[in-house]
């Protein structure tokens, strides 16, 4: 049984109500729900939230909210895995199912494409003991990164690489922060990302969303994708 669980708690601080903030005429969470539906691989698509307002919006666009998430799993300290464990246990008991394939999807991913979720699902089916998620390649060699003090004196984070040519360094990647596939067995019993494989995506298909500058950049990327592809949704 394939389950999509979209995380959307209330109370975002730096961008107020960002999960349902209007984005090109729709609440932001709409795009994650629509993307999940368009994959056509989920038996059920749930939204996990602590907000009645988000619940009503999610249900309007075709997602299921079984019940509001308790405060314990809605604070700033609640982790992705703790929330998924809570929801997975509830779903397993409700439907008496022990074999769930769970894709945790963030509600702040309007650049996410159905094909990316489907590609990750294919990889997941061959690697059931792994977490599978999309990642973006760093454009620069992070092994030669450094920090500075208040006098602008630098300190290399990895001094052994300070004289290494960039072509001799391995590619590095960062988590796109969009979704994670794993079996319910792995979600419930293993540390988050304890064993993982990635689907590589381009940087123009991902964007952090922590502040208003990120919001502006997200809008720019979304609009540019629309201009390149007339079938890209708005």
Q: Give the CATH number of the domain where residue 219 resides.
A: 3.90.550.10
**CA 84 to each of CA 17, 48, 74, 168, 221: distance values in angstroms, whole numbers, following the listed order:** 21, 9, 12, 39, 29
- Is there a domain that residue 66 lies in? yes
**CA 143 to each of CA 35, 135, 159, 160, 167: distance values in angstroms, whole numbers, following the listed order:** 35, 18, 9, 9, 12
Task: Write out the two tokens for 110.
Answer: 């309007």
**CA 192 to each of CA 14, 44, 146, 217: distance values in angstroms, whole numbers, following the listed order:** 25, 23, 28, 29
Q: Which residues of the chain have pLDDT under 70?
A: 230-234
- Is there a domain that residue 12 lies in? yes
| pLDDT at residue number 230 | 52
- Is there a domain that residue 39 lies in? yes
- Is there a domain that residue 122 lies in? yes
- Is there a domain that residue 216 lies in? yes
- Is there a domain that residue 155 lies in? no
3-state secondary structure of 222: helix
The boundaries of the domain holding residue 91 are: 2-132+177-197+207-228
| pLDDT at residue number 132 | 98
Q: Are strands 101-106 and 22-23 parallel, antiparallel or unpaired?
A: unpaired
| pLDDT at residue number 134 | 98
Surface-to-core class of residue 147, CB atoms within 10 Å of its CB (0-12 exposed, 13-18 middle, 19+ buried): exposed
Rounded-to-integer distance, Cα 46 and Cα 66, Å: 8
β-strand partners of 156: 146
- Is there a domain that residue 64 lies in? yes
| pLDDT at residue number 234 | 44
Our count of domains for the chain comes to 1
| pLDDT at residue number 231 | 54
Considering the entire predicted model, what is its pTM?
0.91
| pLDDT at residue number 96 | 80
- Is there a domain that residue 149 lies in? no
């Amino acid at each position: 049984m394939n389950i999509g669980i979209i995380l959307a708690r209330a109370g975002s601080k730096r961008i107020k109500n960002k999960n349902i903030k209007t984005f090109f005429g729709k609440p932001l969470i709409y795009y994650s729900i629509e993307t999940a539906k368009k994959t056509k691989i989920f038996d059920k698509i749930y939204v996990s939230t602590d907000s009645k307002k988000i619940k009503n919006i999610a249900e309007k666009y075709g997602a299921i909210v079984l019940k509001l998430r308790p405060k314990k799993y809605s604070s700033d300290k609640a982790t992705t895995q703790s929330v998924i464990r809570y929801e997975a246990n509830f779903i397993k008991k409700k439907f008496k199912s022990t074999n769930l394939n769970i894709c945790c999807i963030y509600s702040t991913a309007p650049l996410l494409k159905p094909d990316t979720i489907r590609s990750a699902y294919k990889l997941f089916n061959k690697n059931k003991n792994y977490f599978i998620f999309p990642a973006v390649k760093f454009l620069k060699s992070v092994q030669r990164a450094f920090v500075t003090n208040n006098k602008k004196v630098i300190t290399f984070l990895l001094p052994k690489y300070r004289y290494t040519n960039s072509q001799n360094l391995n590619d590095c990647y960062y988590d796109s922060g969009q979704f994670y596939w794993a079996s319910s067995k792995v979600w419930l019993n293993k540390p988050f990302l304890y064993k993982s494989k990635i689907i590589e995506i381009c940087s123009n298909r991902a964007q952090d969303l922590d502040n208003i500058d990120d919001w502006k950049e997200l809008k720019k990327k979304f609009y540019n994708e629309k201009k390149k592809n007339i079938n890209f949704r708005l």
